[in-house]
Structure 1
Amino acid sequence: MSKLLYSATTSVDGFIAGPGGDMSWLVPYLGPDPAIDDLVGEIGALLVGNRTFRGDDPHKGTPAEGEACGGGWSGPQFVLTHHPPAEPVPGVTFVGDLHAAVAAATTAAGGKYVNVLGADVARQCLEAGLLDEIFVCIAPVLLGDGVRLFDRPGGTPLALERLVATQGPVATDIRLRVVR
């Protein structure tokens, strides 16, 4: 059965995007990373938040612009949104309900991971008890402001179990399991 895995690169101070969703900070940290390369091979489908889907692209101005994982992955993508675009987007399904989106992505993943992209959709999956794992690349930078890796004001602590921690070429990679 497919598992839901939230993956993101975060600054040391816990931001995955700068102010206004700016992703340009990520460019120096896009280098090859064996842990990320291995993870990409384990992904069967993407569950993407609307802001992430429509947001800034760290690959802007390169041939990888607009491509999942910078062009390193292809497959079915499901975008959680209440405002789908007027024109269809090839390879992308827009879904307005979290549980329907998770069910569709899980089926499409065919036993591989559903990679959750976007802090808000990851939070929704976590709160619904659907998130299984978290893969975080910690980049050696302080952003000071922006979109947090997780933002749960008033939330209670949630236990995580470390599965793997490795030092990549430009970031520290940590894979965690959500303890239920």
Structure 2
Amino acid sequence: MSVIWHMTMSLDGFIGDRDDGVGWMFLGEGGVSSGLGAEVIARCGAFLCGGRLVDVMGENRPYGGTWSGPILIYTRKDPASKVVPEFTYVSGDIREVVADGLKAAGSKDLVVTGGAVPRLALEAGLVDEIVLHIAPVLLGEGVRYYDSPGVSPTTLKVLTSDGLNFRFAVVR
């Protein structure tokens, strides 16, 4: 049972375009259609993201609906703007939220995704692996994959790579 940061980013390091759009993620090769993406989906017992991702994706289930299970939405504000009844809204310290996510995942992995949630979990020492898909597109601007000025560097070990899909272990 691990905490996996699973994300697709553009070649120039963005997870959302200038309008927070993510349609570009589904163009070209790789991504969740890769063997590595399918492996993450199969191992996923629960999914944790932030409210901003819900604002972008709406009621759509993760992985295009190919996966089902508990979805936790971490929010620091009242989620009343876009409440999706089947999602569980959580707040508080990221350590407690991730612990709740691991409980919800049972014997499987907790997948974290988005911008702020994985960053907070990584900085708290809670992320075990990063699975990253590189989309062959240059966006030029948008939401950065990892933007955390002033923090100490995080060392990663490459576990697998096929050119567009990477699995890293977080070195502690």
Structure 1 and Structure 2 fold alike (TM over 0.5): yes
3-state DSSP of counterpart to 1:176: strand
Unaligned runs of 5+ in 1: 58-64
Structure 2 Cα separation of the partners of residues 86 and 146 of structure 1: 23
TM-score by length of 1: 0.85
Q: After the TM superposition, which residues 8-47 of structure 1 pair with which residues of structure 2 at under 5 Å, given as runs?
A: 8-29=7-28, 32-47=33-48
The Cα shift of 1:85 comes to 2.5
Say whether residues 1:101 and 2:97 are aligned partners. yes
Asked whether the equivalents of residues 6 and 115 of structure 1 are also in contact (C-alpha less than 8 Å), the reply is yes
1:119 corresponding residue in structure 2: 115
TM-score by length of 2: 0.89
Say whether residues 1:81 and 2:75 are aligned partners. yes
Q: After the TM superposition, which residues 46-85 of structure 1 pair with which residues of structure 2 at under 5 Å, given as runs?
A: 46-56=47-57, 66-82=60-76, 83-85=78-80
Q: 1:90 to 1:161 in 2, by over 3 A?
A: same
Moved more, 88-97 or 128-137: 88-97
Q: Percent identity?
A: 38
Say whether residues 1:159 and 2:161 are aligned partners. no
Asked whether the equivalents of residues 32 and 63 of structure 2 are also in contact (C-alpha less than 8 Å), the reply is no
The number of aligned residues is 168
Q: 1:85 to 1:173 in 2, by over 3 A?
A: same
1:174 corresponding residue in structure 2: 166
Say whether residues 1:7 and 2:6 are aligned partners. yes
Q: What value does the CA root-mean-square deviation take over the aligned residues?
A: 1.9
Structure 2 Cα separation of the partners of residues 95 and 117 of structure 1: 15
Asked whether the equivalents of residues 7 and 136 of structure 1 are also in contact (C-alpha less than 8 Å), the reply is yes
1:25-72 CA-to-partner distances (Å, cap 9, x unmatched) read 223146732221121000000011111122147xxxxxxx71211011
Say whether residues 1:149 and 2:150 are aligned partners. no
Asked whether the equivalents of residues 21 and 56 of structure 1 are also in contact (C-alpha less than 8 Å), the reply is no
Unaligned runs of 5+ in 2: none
Instruction: In structure 1, give the amino acid aligned to 2:20.
Output: G
1:60 corresponding residue in structure 2: none
Instruction: In structure 2, give the amino acid aligned to 1:145.
Output: E
